[in-house]
Amino acid sequence: MVPLTHDGTTAWAAASVSQAAAGAAPTAAPEAAAPAPWPGQVFGDSDRSYPEQMAVYQTQRAAKGQRKHRRRQKQTARQALNVRSDELRVARHRERQARRAADAAWAAQRTAQRTVRQAHQTQSWAARRASRAA
């Protein structure tokens, strides 16, 4: 049933029929975000004298400088972390190179041993016996 009049004050969410059947609730109107504060806003306060406004302004500006100082500290810490991670990366690279060299030496030794064993196995029984006696 459709009402005869509609006041239009309720904002409804865009919902499908299934969502409406499930009980879709009206959306709240989004509130406008308050602008970010800045030090110069203190001069808009007419209840304070100019020297008081200036003192508050200088305090806020000093606090802003502290934020920059903290940012520099974070940048320095991040730089130190990056240097440390670079050192670890280089150390891991060197370790991988050493392992590759060790693996290559092991493979060469294994190939040499196989060659010796195959040469021994291709000898006749009498030749093997003679090589043992020598």
pLDDT in tens, 33-72: 777 766 677 777 788 888 888 898 888 887 776 777 788 8
The verdict on pTM exceeding 0.85 is no
**HEC letters along 85-122:** HHHHHHHHHHHHHHHHHHHHHHHHHHHHHHHHHHHHHH
On average, the pLDDT of the chain sits at 82
